[in-house]
A = this chain, B = another copy of it.
Amino acid sequence: MSILQFSHSGTSENTTKFVGESRQFQITIDEPPALGGKDEAANPVEYTLASLAGCLNVVAHLIAKELEIEIHSLKINVEGDLDPGKLLTGDATQRAGFTDIRVKLDVESNAEPELLRQWLAVVRDRCPVTDNLANPTNVEIVL
C-alpha cells in the first residue's frame, strides 16, 4: 500500500511546556513539578502510553471484525516503569526510556477464551504503536 506520512510540529513555550499541532489538532505537553514543570498537561511519556492505548483500541476493533467477534466493551490500562537516572544525571548504566510497558485489556465480547487469545496475538502483531515500542526504529534527529 502507499506510504502514509504523519507529522507533528510545534514550539517550545518554556523548559518543559511544548505546544504542537498534527493537522488541525493542538496538543499541549508539560511536566509535573517533580520533573521541573508547571503541570499544565500530561507529560511526554504519558502521551506515549496514551498513543499505545489509542492504537490498540483501533486495531482491537479491526481484528474483531475480521474474526467476526462482537466487542461489547473495551477498557485499556497501560503502565510503564522508567528509571530517570539517565535522563536527569546521565547515568550511563541505565536506559533513558521505559524498561517495561504493561497493557491490560478488559474486554467484554461474545468470543470464547481461545478465540480471544488468537485475537490478542493478531492485535499485538498488527498494532503500529506496539511495533514501534517493541522493536527498533530508525530515528534521525538533525539541526
What residues on B are CB-neighbors of A71 within 8 Å?
12
The answer for the CA separation of A52 and B96 in the assembled complex, in Å, is 13
Within 8 A of B (CB), among A85-106: 85-91, 95-106
What does the 1/0 interface line of A78-90 toward B look like (CB < 8 Å)? 1111111111111
SS of A interface (majority)? mixed
User: Given the interface contacts A47-B51, A126-B87, does A6 sit within 8 Å of B120 by beta carbon?
Assistant: no
A63 CB to nearest B CB, Å: 9
The 6 A-B pairs at the shortest CB distance, nearest first, are namely: A29-B54, A97-B131, A44-B55, A47-B51, A97-B132, A22-B46
The answer for the CA separation of A73 and B7 in the assembled complex, in Å, is 20
Partner of A130, one of B9, B91, B139: B139
What residues on B are CB-neighbors of A6 within 8 Å?
43, 45-46, 49, 79-80, 82, 98
